[in-house]
């Protein structure tokens, strides 16, 4: 039986700290919710009375391994925990999600527990639940480990029997809501994330609102379970015109304040638009207004399924109308590819640091100095000059580095081999929808089958190897260019940077193009123009910015 006032019975299951907080926000709004976590401390933070976001004890389930409290950004450990508690997780979800129209799995990508969400999906796969995942992407200021974990997590969901993906961009949220106090920030953004979905689910049971052309529960179910990447948003509409509505839709897709940027109408397969306006505004709007919107949306989207809802509100008087948008696409937004490029670059840089040897200090001039008149201590320890610095572990190609776990562990907690960045090959290909032929054509893979994390390679030229792709090298080249006393010296550096800009390593290309933008745009204009077509989104971005 559905709760009063809602179109669909939505059940939330949270994994990890962020996922548990989002599930608690669903629970605060009256939905069934459950939270799994590998950390007692995170579950304790959801205890009733601790914050405004809370869950009863029976809805907070610990799935860690004895001796550890939390995953510590170790993705492999998160997977191990889910495997170790698979039966318990399976039974809890089966009981909790019984009768649900939609099961929303919530998680934060970047940490070790939430990023293991694909393992959770596999654990409950035989239950054939109508699953939608709602996941957050790491902030741009978070570490390379978090970004690599996030990319692996997204890739891990590909091919799973999901009926909808929701990707939330934490960087965008922090820009919009960065002024909120630290103690209230996460509570605020959890509400911002969940509220639009809750509003859609309560459309037809709002006090003071009458449906003229409803978007009912079955329409909402179709939109949410359309088998694609879901996007949503809401805002004010100061003028009811076809041009203004279309402009609002385009801008929300391209520059959402919630989802990764870079979505376009021609990639959309399903679209729901709801307009809530005052009686006065609706009286001045001809019926053809909605027909024109419907036709233009179908035309610009190339035949998407369009659902339009119109509501009269007595709550809105002499104020702007309200719009709500819900879309589905079988293509990932451009912002995801940019995150992958950053993860590749920062992950590669971190691996390069781990591959370096710790250089022993040169003590040749001081190791034999005697600074005490008498040696009063008799110990079995060698003299300081004979002590040796222990050799650090070998992080060569033969022993892959696991960037999803702290370096101090040296491997998974179960003793199993860890997975290197190079082993995580990205294959984005979303399952096609089961809609009619015209829509299923649109649901074909739109460039998602891309390898997103490729192995680090050496440059094709002798100037710079991948192991030398660090900021210090190129900062030194910039300094030498500026201090060069002859044209020949400068030309040698120019040729070096131009050659490195054609390297097979995206990290080397990034540092080379970055150096060019800081030296002389005119000297490197031709190379920078070529870099605007680089396969790496970050390289393209800095080249375009320099030329502008």
Q: Which helix (H) or strand (E) segment is 271 a member of? A: strand 268-277
Domain termination residue (choose one: 310, 334, 358): 334
Write the pLDDT tens digit of every residue in 219-257: 999 999 988 889 999 988 888 889 999 999 998 888 888
What CA–CA distance (Å, rounded) separates 402 from 494?
36
442 assigned to some structural domain:
no
| Co-location of 158 and 299 in the same domain | yes
Cα 342 to its chain centre, rounded Å, is: 12
Q: Above 60 in pLDDT, residue 124?
A: yes
Residue with token string 């997780």? 89
User: Going along 302-425, which residue ranges are E strands?
Assistant: 305-313, 321-329
Write the pLDDT tens digit of every residue in 322-334: 999 999 998 888 7
Beta-strand relationship, 164-169 and 32-37:
unpaired
Residue 245 sits in a domain whose CATH number is 3.40.50.1440
Angle in degrees, 0-180, between the axes of helices 242-254 and 288-301, rounded to the nearest 10: 40
What CA–CA distance (Å, rounded) separates 308 from 211?
11
38 assigned to some structural domain:
yes
Q: What is the DSSP string of 273-329?
A: EEEEE-HHHHHTS-THHHHHHHHHHHHHHTS-EEEEEEEEESS-SSS-EEEEEEEEE
Predicted pLDDT of residue 441: 38
132 assigned to some structural domain:
yes
What CA–CA distance (Å, rounded) separates 125 from 524?
54
Tokens of 284: 């001045």
256 assigned to some structural domain:
yes
CA-wise closest residue to 196 among 164, 221, 231: 231
Most confident region among 79-83, 161-165, 250-254, 535-539 by mean pLDDT:
79-83
Residue 484 sits in a domain whose CATH number is 1.25.10
Torsion of CA 516, 519, 520, 525, to 10 degrees: 0
Tokens of 120: 């959770």
CA-wise closest residue to 114 among 17, 42, 33, 211: 17
Beta strands across the sheet bearing 268-277: 60-62, 32-37, 10-15, 102-108, 131-137, 164-169, 228-237, 321-329, 268-277, 305-313, 209-213
Write the pLDDT tens digit of every residue in 56-72: 999 999 998 876 677 77
Instruction: Give burial (CB, 10 Å; 0-12/13-18/19+) of 215.
Output: buried
Domain termination residue (choose one: 334, 355, 389): 334
382 assigned to some structural domain:
no
Domain termination residue (choose one: 334, 358, 388): 334
| Co-location of 74 and 217 in the same domain | yes
Share of the chain above pLDDT 90, in %: 34
Cβ count within 10 A of residue 127: 13
Torsion of CA 396, 398, 403, 404, to 10 degrees: -150
Q: Are 424 and 151 in contact (CB under 8 A)?
A: yes
Most confident region among 35-44, 137-146, 390-399, 446-455 by mean pLDDT:
35-44
Q: Above 80 in pLDDT, residue 1?
A: no
Predicted pLDDT of residue 67: 66
Q: Are 123 and 82 in contact (CB under 8 A)?
A: yes
- Specify the higher pLDDT residue, 381 or 511: 511
Q: Which helix (H) or strand (E) segment is 102 a member of? A: strand 102-108
The alpha carbons of the chain give a radius of gyration, in whole angstroms, of 28
400 assigned to some structural domain:
no
Most confident region among 45-49, 100-104, 391-395 by mean pLDDT:
100-104
Write the pLDDT tens digit of every residue in 265-294: 888 999 999 999 988 888 888 888 888 999
Q: Which helix (H) or strand (E) segment is 161 a member of? A: none
| Co-location of 469 and 320 in the same domain | no
Q: Of 80-84, 170-174, 246-250, 353-357, where does mean pLDDT reach its minimum?
A: 353-357
Torsion of CA 430, 431, 436, 438, to 10 degrees: 40
Most confident region among 111-115, 132-136, 313-317, 356-360 by mean pLDDT:
132-136
The tally of CA atoms less than 13 A away on the side-chain side of residue 232 is 23
Q: Can you tell me whether residue 195 is helix, strand or coil? A: helix
414 assigned to some structural domain:
no
Predicted pLDDT of residue 71: 77
Overall domain count for the chain:
2
* Domain extent for 497: 459-547
362 assigned to some structural domain:
no
- Specify the higher pLDDT residue, 285 or 431: 285
Q: What is the DSSP string of 109-147?
A: BTBTTGGGHHHHHHHTGGG---EEEEEEEPPTTS-HHHH
Sign of CA dihedral 40, 42, 43, 47: positive
């Amino acid at each position: 039986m559905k709760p009063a006032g809602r179109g669909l019975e939505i059940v939330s299951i949270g994994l990890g700290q962020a996922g548990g907080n989002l599930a608690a926000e669903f629970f605060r709004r009256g939905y069934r919710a459950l939270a799994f976590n590998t950390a007692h401390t995170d579950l304790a933070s959801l205890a009733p009375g601790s914050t405004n976001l809370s869950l009863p004890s029976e809805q907070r389930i610990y799935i860690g391994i004895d001796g550890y409290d939390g995953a510590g950004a170790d993705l492999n450990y998160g997977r191990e925990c889910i495997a170790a508690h698979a039966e318990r997780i399976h039974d809890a979800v089966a009981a909790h999600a019984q009768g649900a129209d939609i099961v929303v799995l919530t998680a934060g990508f970047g940490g070790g527990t939430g990023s293991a969400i694909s393992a959770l999906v596999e654990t409950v796969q035989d239950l054939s639940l109508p699953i939608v995942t709602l996941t957050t992407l790491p902030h741009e200021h978070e570490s390379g480990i978090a970004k690599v974990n996030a990319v692996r997590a997204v890739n891990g969901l590909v091919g799973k029997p999901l009926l909808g993906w929701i990707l939330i961009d934490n960087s965008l949220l922090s820009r919009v809501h960065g002024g909120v106090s630290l103690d209230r920030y996460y509570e605020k953004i959890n509400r911002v994330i969940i509220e639009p979905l809750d509003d859609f689910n309560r459309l037809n049971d709002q006090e003071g609102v009458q449906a003229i052309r409803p978007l009912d529960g079955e329409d909402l179910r179709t939109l949410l379970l359309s088998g694609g990447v879901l996007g949503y948003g809401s805002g004010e509409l100061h003028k009811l015109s076809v041009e203004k509505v279309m402009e609002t839709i385009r801008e929300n897709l391209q520059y959402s304040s919630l989802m990764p940027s870079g979505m376009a109408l021609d990639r959309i397969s399903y679209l729901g638009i709801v307009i809530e306006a005052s009686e006065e505004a609706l009286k001045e709007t001809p019926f053809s207004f909605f027909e024109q919107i419907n036709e233009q949306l179908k035309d610009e989207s190339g035949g998407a399924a369009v659902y339009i809802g119109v509501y009269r509100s007595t709550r809105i008087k002499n104020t702007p109308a309200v719009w709500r948008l819900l879309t589905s696409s079988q293509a990932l937004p451009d912002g995801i590819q940019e995150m992958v490029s950053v993860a590749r670059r920062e992950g590669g840089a971190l691996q390069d640091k781990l591959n370096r040897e710790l250089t022993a200090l040169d003590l040749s001039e001081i190791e034999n100095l005697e600074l005490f008149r008498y040696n009063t201590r008799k110990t079995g320890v060698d003299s300081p000059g004979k002590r040796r610095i222990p050799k650090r572990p070998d992080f060569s190609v033969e022993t892959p580095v696991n960037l999803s776990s702290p370096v101090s562990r040296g491997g998974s907690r179960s003793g199993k081999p860890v997975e290197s960045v190079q082993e995580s090959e990205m294959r984005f290909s979303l399952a096609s929808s089961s809609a009619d032929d015209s829509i299923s054509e649109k649901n074909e893979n739109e460039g998602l089958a891309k390898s997103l994390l490729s192995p680090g390679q050496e440059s094709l030229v002798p100037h710079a190897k991948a192991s030398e792709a660090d900021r210090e090298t190129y900062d030194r080249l910039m300094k030498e260019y500026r201090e060069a006393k002859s044209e020949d010296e400068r030309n040698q550096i120019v040729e070096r940077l131009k050659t490195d800009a054609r390297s097979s390593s995206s990290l080397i290309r990034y540092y080379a193009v970055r150096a060019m933008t800081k030296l002389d745009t005119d000297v490197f204009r031709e190379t920078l123009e070529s870099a605007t077509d680089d396969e790496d989104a970050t390289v393209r971005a800095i080249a375009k910015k320099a030329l502008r």
